[in-house]
Amino acid sequence: MSDAESGGSGGGLVIVYTGGGKGKTTAALGMALRALGHRKRVCMVQFIKGSWKYGEMESSKMLEPGFEMIAAGKGFVGIIDDKSPREDHERIAGEAVRLASEKVRSGAYDIVILDEINYAIDLGLVPVSDVLKMLDARPPEVSVVLTGNRAADQIVERADLVTEMREIKHPFKKGIRAKKGIDF
């Protein structure tokens, strides 16, 4: 088997999906699906998303045991129907970072996806230094994917791959609401 067929040098990558356009979580889930096809083990820890019901919460159960999804956030912060004190969001985000760090270091996963962590950093719920420590402590064979808009400069610098999603057109601007199976 060639180096390309076996997956290269075996080293993990730090991958960032950021930007104002849709598709960051979807890209990470696509990567997870691809990895599962190669019998890789994947864990997704969702920051921010936690109180709403998303399609991926149900479909992820169909991908077990190779895929584990944990909704670790308390939900959207300060918008829509959020009535939780900021301190609750900060405490739960801190717990999510500790959990994610354990998953990254555990040796149980080939890929750990930190969904919406860039938002959690940008909102001040998670110190970027804690995330950088997590990346420093990861085993070299583990890939970590960080999603969410407004990725911190330090995260972008640390990453091996950064993709920015850019919105060109969005149905919401025509008054079309989010759709099951498309948006959530």
Residue range 155-167, pLDDT digits in tens: 999 999 999 999 9
CATH of 10-166, one of 3.40.1180.10, 3.40.50.2300, 3.40.190.10, 3.40.50.300: 3.40.50.300
More confident residue, 48 or 25: 25
Rounded Cα distance between 88 and 79, Å, is: 15
Determine the pLDDT at residue 51: 55
Cβ pair 138, 144 in contact under 8 A? yes
Band (pLDDT 50/70/90 cuts) for residue 124 is very high
Share of the chain above pLDDT 70, in %: 84
pTM: predicted TM-score of the whole model, two decimal places: 0.87
- State the Rg of the chain over Cα: 16
| Orientation of helix 86-105 relative to helix 128-137, angle to 10° | 10
